[in-house]
């Protein structure tokens, strides 16, 4: 038995912020942002929270799967922007759904968070500790952006995507994941500083900082390698895959990966144009997009790949 996805859902905040709008509040332009990233607009929260977006995405995934909240025995949320340090976003979702039989916890693997969640639940399923689970990738990244730093804030957005998985034959065929903590400094956001009586540092709630070129180099080398490893484990060729659903960080990264795999860009669906980079939520939002457009047929082989802060990466091959 492995984890098979049986329903998807997503939820984006109501407010849309275009590149043109950003160019009225900072020194940037639609031309700069779209030519370097492919991003045209992103959704940003006003009233919504990481938990409220997660809950709605989760409800939609459960409705599509035809699964009742009480049937869930696990809820995992991949996020680095939970509303609380504790309780976890997954516990908030559990309460909101009334999923009384589910154990709930978050995973922080940044943009690989949904993939790490899927691989984790797969391990639980394989050892018989879980049968039906709700996985969510959700972020309110706009809370941890320095809106005075045009080199980072224009890239990210808010939103949530979800998938219901069930223990079945087939499903997750092969996976690869890894971390390179030495490179963590290239994409970082410090937690609050310690203010205990022995330290008494200045209060500091710092914002996301990124060395864009280092992260770019990481993505265009590690991601194709990870995809090749997964294909090799499954005994398949790049052309056997119907769609490659990659983390939506930057169109140029996706183009570079497609080129290295020698696969047409048509097989790489895109949501970053209207969502920006939503970290752990990018892959499940894209999966829900593709699913709801009716682009997936039973038996299709799909690759999902997430990569980013940590630095971390995770790739898997699933059968629809």
Taking CB under 6 A as the rule, which mask of x and - marks residues 27-46 in contact with ligand COA?
-x---xx--xx---------
DSSP code for 134: E
Q: Can you tell me whether residue 16 is helix, strand or coil?
A: strand
Residue nearest to ligand COA (CB): 212
CB of 117 to ligand COA, least distance (A): 17
The smaller minimum CB distance to ligand COA, of residues 38 and 69, is found at 38
The smaller minimum CB distance to ligand COA, of residues 150 and 292, is found at 150
Specify whether 277 is catalytic: yes
Positive or negative: CA dihedral 205, 178, 12, 30: positive
Tell me which residues in 105-134 interact with ligand COA (CB under 6 A): 111
Specify whether 189 is catalytic: no
CA distances from 288 to 17, 18, 28, 228, 254 (A): 22, 22, 31, 24, 19
Catalytic residue, chosen from 19, 108, 122, 277, is 277
Q: Which of 91, 93, 138, 154 binds ligand COA (CB under 6 A)?
A: 154
Query: Which among 255, 264, 262, 271 has a CA at the least distance from the CA of 231?
Result: 262
Taking CB under 6 A as the rule, which mask of x and - marks residues 54-73 in contact with ligand COA?
--------------------
Specify whether 101 is catalytic: no
Helices (H) and strands (E) in the chain, counts: 10, 13
Taking CB under 6 A as the rule, which mask of x and - marks residues 239-278 in contact with ligand COA?
----------xx--------------------------x-
CB of 157 to ligand COA, least distance (A): 12
Q: Where are the beta strands (DSSP E) in the chain?
A: 2-11, 15-18, 41-44, 74-78, 103-107, 132-140, 158-168, 172-179, 187-188, 209-210, 243-246, 301-308, 312-319
Print burial letters for 157-169: b (CB count within 10 Å at least 16), e (below 16).
bbbbbbbbbbbbe
Backbone angles phi, psi at 47, to 5 degrees: -90, -25
The smaller minimum CB distance to ligand COA, of residues 83 and 214, is found at 214
Backbone angles phi, psi at 67, to 5 degrees: -115, 135
Catalytic residue, chosen from 247, 250, 275, 291, is 247
Farthest CA pair distance, the chain: 60
Tell me which residues in 203-222 interact with ligand COA (CB under 6 A): 210, 212-213, 215-216
Q: Which residues are catalytic?
A: 111, 247, 277
Q: Which residues here bind ligand COA, judged by CB under 6 A?
A: 28, 32-33, 36-37, 111, 150-151, 154, 210, 212-213, 215-216, 249-250, 277, 308
């Amino acid at each position: 038995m492995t984890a098979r996805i049986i329903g998807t859902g997503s939820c984006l905040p109501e407010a849309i912020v275009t590149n043109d709008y950003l160019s009225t509040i900072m020194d940037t332009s639609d031309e700069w942002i779209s030519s370097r990233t492919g991003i045209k607009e992103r959704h940003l929260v006003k009233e919504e929270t990481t938990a409220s977006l997660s809950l709605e995405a989760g409800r939609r995934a459960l409705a599509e799967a035809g699964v009742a909240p009480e049937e869930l025995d696990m809820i995992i949320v991949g996020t680095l922007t939970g509303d609380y340090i504790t309780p976890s976003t997954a516990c908030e979702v559990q309460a909101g759904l009334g999923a009384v039989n589910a154990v709930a916890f978050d995973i922080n693997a940044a943009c690989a968070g949904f993939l790490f969640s899927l691989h984790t639940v797969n391990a639980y399923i394989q050892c018989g500790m879980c049968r039906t689970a709700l996985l969510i990738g959700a972020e309110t990244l706009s809370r941890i952006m320095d809106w005075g730093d045009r080199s980072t804030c224009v890239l990210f957005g808010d939103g949530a995507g979800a998938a219901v998985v069930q223990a079945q034959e087939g499903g997750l065929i092969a996976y690869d994941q890894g971390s390179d903590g030495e490179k963590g400094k290239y994409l970082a956001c410090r937690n609050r500083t310690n203010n205990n009586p022995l330290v008494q540092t200045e209060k500091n709630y710092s914002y996301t900082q990124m060395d864009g070129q280092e992260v770019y180099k990481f993505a265009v080398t590690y991601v194709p390698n990870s995809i090749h490893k997964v294909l090799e484990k499954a005994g398949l060729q790049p052309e056997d895959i119907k769609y490659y659903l990659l983390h939506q960080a930057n169109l140029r990264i996706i183009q570079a990966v497609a080129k290295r795999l020698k696969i047409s860009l048509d097989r790489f669906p895109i949501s970053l144009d209207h969502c920006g980079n939503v970290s752990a939520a990018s892959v499940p939002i894209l999966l829900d997009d593709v699913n709801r457009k009716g682009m997936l047929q039973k038996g299709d082989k799909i690759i999902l790949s997430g990569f980013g802060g940590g630095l971390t990466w995770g790739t898997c091959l699933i059968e629809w």
